[in-house]
Chain A
Amino acid sequence: MKLHEYQSKHFFARYGIPIPKGRVAANAVEAKHIAQELGGRVVIKAQVLVGGRGKAGGIRLAKSPEEAEELAGQILSMKIKGLPVRKVLIDEAASIDKEIYLGITNDRSARKPVMMASSAGGVEIEEVARDTPEKIVKVYIDPLLGLRDYQARDIAAGIDLPRDHWRIFGQIANGLWQAYRESDATLAEINPLIITSKDQLIAVDGKMVLDDNALYRHPDLAEMRDLDVEDPSEIEARKYGLVFIKLDGNIGCMVNGAGLAMTTMDIIKLFGGSPANFLDIGGGASAEKVTAALRIILTDPNVKTVLFNIFGGITRGDEVARGILVAMNELKKEIPMVIRLVGTNAEEGRQILSDADMITAETLADAAKKAVAVAKGDYKQ
């Protein structure tokens, strides 16, 4: 789950990381008042969960409250990469001497958090990693011991930070680590951390991504979820404990198991078709869950056929079949469907569906070929 810049910065501030004076506005008049409060030049920043806000014109400098109102009005009417700008952050503008990158993420291969820094701040870290990787300094943080003070000093030295700043930098690095750890983040990033012309260190931008599996223990953070970035079907699916990802093909898929669901999409493509979605109904799904899943798949107008691939371990074929029948009756959709049921109660499941005019298959390959043929309009009994 992604947090907005203003949410991330406020969170960082709780851990002693200096951030600019500023507040969030939802309309141009509010923006003007905040600019008046702050006095002087301000930066108006679109709060949307995508990169490239600056390039899209979503980050502008205002020299007066009137200009702030004007620019905020413009930015709040923008869409950046398809996302509407609902809020802007009005920050005191700082004069920047130097820009640093400082971030923490999980290094999967090392099985540890890694803190990275570079003196090439203000640029996407992926670009730096690609073009000038030698500019990135990394320290691996022991997940049991946490960030050691000497590690922060190693980073400071590695990015040629003047010694005058080492103490404050250490506090910021430690604050970032604490923020990361205590929020169960998978990414916590300050880009850029600036040194102002008055020699102060300030986190001018902030980004946090949180581990969805840990949100149960952060209800206050979970509440901050921005639903704009999610497809309505994905939001609906989550309510039922389903994982649904929309694709742009015309063969809907319903499968039990993530690996098998990916395989089902792959095999459809292998035989010349195009999957419309990824959908994992999980283990032991109830009929209600299956009905909800089919309903979600069929909200996509592109779907010409649905392929069910159910390998029942704890998932029962008869339960799945009942769920499908309820959905078919409720939705009264007349599209042909292909069903492949193996495992627990598969025979009972097939019996239940035998009157429902569904195309059956024994193997996954056969089911996929049939679904592709149906979608193309080529299928013959």
Chain B
Amino acid sequence: MSILVDKNTRLLVQGITGNEGDFHTRQMVAYGTKVVAGVTPGKGGEWVLDGKIPVFDSIRLAVNARGANVSVIFVPARFAADAMFESADAGIPLIVCITEGIPVQDMMRVRNYLDQKGARLVGPNCPGLLTPGEAKVGIIPGDIAIPGNVGVVSRSGTLTYEVLYALKQENMGVSTCVGIGGDPINGTNFVDCLEMFEEDPNTDQVVLIGEIGGSEEEKAAEFIADCMTKPIVGFIAGQTAPPGKRMGHAGAIIEGGSGLAADKIRALEMADVQVAQHPEEIPGMLK
């Protein structure tokens, strides 16, 4: 059912006792996600959320005691790499890192290590995952999407919400929404998600939301042309972005003439992807 997270997800929250961790865990629990444990080193033994969720000092202890199979990370940037290494070493197969501002060399080390361990990372600098009606892993507001058959994969946060909201207004539902985040080096990219959506019986078509910087949209276009049968609609932000400037997201930068929105749009259109001129057009372009 859908991809990556569903009603069988047993979620562990790293950084559960911090402001962000606490606030968003409450939202995730209210949505119906099974949050089984939290990890904050030094606060093991405490219970949070009115005594409902146990906190452990380490991931290993939390996994052994509570069978967590997904971790979501709300830990400050300077500690985030360590949090990801710890989860991977404890055998967590899916790690979702919300944190923004992680040094890029940390992310190179993390990604290369996690590839060797066989752990999947989503993020960092992302809003996380939402499988409507089943699981919310991260900060995507639960009330802006309804269950359905459109898969969504996006580098953005609030721009993604804009699209989910537009779909909901037209009574169109989402199978899973994956926020892959705005960093230049991340755990999961467009092609990874497109592959999963193509295999997912619950997904009939896909919305891809990209932006300036890097070449992942171009790689997606190649994959779509070679391997996908399901229809895709896209939108690329940053057609008016000036070159050489980082537009908020660490990965949103046009460097040395590459990473331009126009090039991404062209590549996607050549792969028969319909590209919207603005996000509110997207529902009308889907079947």
A-B contact count (CB 8 A): 159
B-contact bits for A126-153, CB 8 A (1 contact / 0 none): 1000000000000000111000000000
A262 touches B162 (CB 8 A): no
| Interface residue stretch chosen among A4-12, A106-114, A162-170 | A106-114
Taking CB atoms, residues of chain A closer than 8 Å to B161 are 311, 313, 343
- Contact A106 to B239, CB < 8 A, known contacts A245-B245, A314-B139: no
Interface residue tally on B, bucketed by range? 35 or more
Name the residue on B nearest A368 (C-beta): B278
Contact present for B249 and A144 (CB under 8 Å): no
B105 with A181: CB separation less than 8 A: yes
Name which residue of chain A comes closest to B252, CB basis. Answer: A258
B215 interface hit (Cβ, 8 Å) = yes
Contact status A262-B278, CB under 8 Å: no
A353 to chain B, nearest CB (A): 20
Q: Which of B113, B139, B209, B256 contacts A313 (CB 8 A)?
A: B139
Say yes or no: is B185 at the interface (Cβ < 8 Å to chain A): yes
**Distance between Cα atoms of A263 and B158 in the complex (Å):** 10
Assuming A214-B105, A278-B241, A343-B141, is B247 touching A109 (CB within 8 A)? no
Binds A, one of B43-51, B67-75, B96-104: B96-104
Contact of B105 among A184, A270, A280 (CB under 8 A): A184
A residues near B108, Cβ cutoff 8 Å: 106, 111-113, 143
Task: Evaluate whether A258 and B248 lie within 8 angstroms (CB atoms) in the complex, with A211-B105, A314-B23, A343-B141 already known.
Answer: yes
For A112, what are the chain B residues with a Cβ–Cβ distance below 8 Å? 108, 112
1/0 contact string of B226-262 vs chain A (CB within 8 Å) = 0000000001011111100111111110001000010
> What chain B residues lie within 8 Å of A269 (beta carbons)?
239-240
Inter-chain contact B250/A213, CB cutoff 8 Å: yes
Which of these, B165, B215, B246, B249, contacts A311 with CB under 8 Å? B165
Q: Within the complex, which residue of B144, B211, B214, B249 is in contact with A108, where a contact is CB–CB below 8 Å?
A: B214
The reply to whether the CB of B277 lies closer than 8 angstroms to some CB of chain A is yes
**B78 near A259 (CB under 8 angstroms)?**
no
Q: Which residue of A lies closest to B216 (CB)?
A: A109
Docked pose: A310 CA to B65 CA in angstroms? 42
| Residues in chain A near residue B104, CB distance under 8 A | 106, 184, 186, 211, 213-214
User: Is the Cβ of A259 less than 8 Å from the Cβ of B165?
Assistant: no
B239 and A259: CB pair below 8 A?
A: no
A-B contact pairs, 21 of them (CB 8 A): A109-B214, A143-B108, A144-B109, A144-B112, A211-B104, A211-B105, A214-B106, A243-B248, A247-B240, A258-B247, A259-B155, A259-B156, A259-B211, A260-B156, A260-B157, A262-B238, A265-B240, A342-B165, A364-B162, A365-B280, A368-B278
* Known contacts A109-B214, A113-B108, A262-B238, then 18 further A-B pairs from the complex at CB < 8 Å, ordered by chain A residue: A108-B184, A108-B214, A243-B248, A258-B211, A258-B252, A259-B252, A261-B248, A263-B159, A263-B237, A265-B241, A278-B241, A283-B157, A311-B162, A313-B157, A313-B158, A343-B141, A343-B144, A364-B279
Closest 3 CB pairs of A and B: A258-B248, A259-B156, A257-B158
